[in-house]
């Protein structure tokens, strides 16, 4: 079984207090930082570019988990890897759920020296992507509609997590199972019980005591 990892999302960082919150993160048991890239087209929000990632990489030694919510992940994946992404996940929907294109981008990410994985929105079934699971270091299940933080957790998405866990065992694979959206004191246990080993948490971490909140989820 994979070690449980908490990946605080910088979408919810207090940008009037960045240095202090990054210091708290570095002193906590968080090992990853989740970096949401939104282009204002694929999702109705605009966030961070590669230079921001480069700055975070310099200021914080955590593993950089970059989630591309963009229309053209093939163009942007190499740019974010160059600027410090350790892992890049991209939406299957951005590539029209085309297995050949998805496999090609996973291969390119790996060839550039990073880890790679796929993401599915709530209305996208996970089962059609079984053939690319062998090339995924991580599969990210969205438990809210991507675009904004602070949304309510969609518990029915845990069925995808359970399926991914079963397939991982059946196919003897080792990909991580990550969930993103609405993770808090009431939902994180359900996610872990369903088979998640990587939890993206934004508001829950940054609006509370960072160290205690992360430790609580790992207890």
- Residues with active-site annotation: 36, 180
CA distance 132 to 99: 7
191, 182 contact by CB (below 8 A): no
DSSP 30-93: --EEEEEEEBSSSSS-B---HHHHHHHHHH--SEEEEEEESS-HHHHHHHHHHTT-SEEEEEGG
DSSP state of 123: T
CA distance 146 to 45: 9
């Amino acid at each position: 079984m994979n070690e449980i990892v908490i990946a605080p999302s910088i979408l919810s960082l207090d940008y009037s207090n960045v240095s202090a919150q990054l210091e708290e993160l570095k002193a906590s048991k968080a090992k990853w930082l989740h970096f949401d890239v939104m282009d204002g087209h694929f999702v109705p929000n605009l966030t961070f570019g590669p230079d921001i990632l480069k700055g975070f990489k310099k200021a914080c030694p955590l593993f950089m988990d970059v989630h591309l919510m963009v229309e053209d992940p093939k163009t942007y994946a190499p740019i974010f890897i160059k600027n410090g992404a350790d892992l890049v996940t991209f939406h299957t929907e951005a590539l029209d759920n085309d297995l050949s294109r998805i496999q090609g981008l996973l291969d390119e990410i790996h060839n550039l020296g990073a880890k790679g994985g796929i993401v599915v929105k709530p209305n996208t079934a996970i089962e059609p992507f079984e053939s690319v699971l062998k090339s995924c270091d991580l599969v990210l299940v969205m438990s809210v509609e991507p675009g904004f933080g602070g949304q309510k957790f969609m518990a029915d998405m845990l069925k995808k997590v359970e399926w991914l866990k079963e397939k991982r065992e059946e196919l003897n694979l080792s990909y991580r199972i990550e969930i993103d959206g609405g993770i808090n004191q009431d939902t994180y246990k359900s996610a872990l019980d369903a088979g998640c080993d990587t939890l993206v948490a934004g508001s829950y971490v940054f609006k509370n005591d960072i160290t205690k909140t992360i430790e609580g989820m790992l207890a």
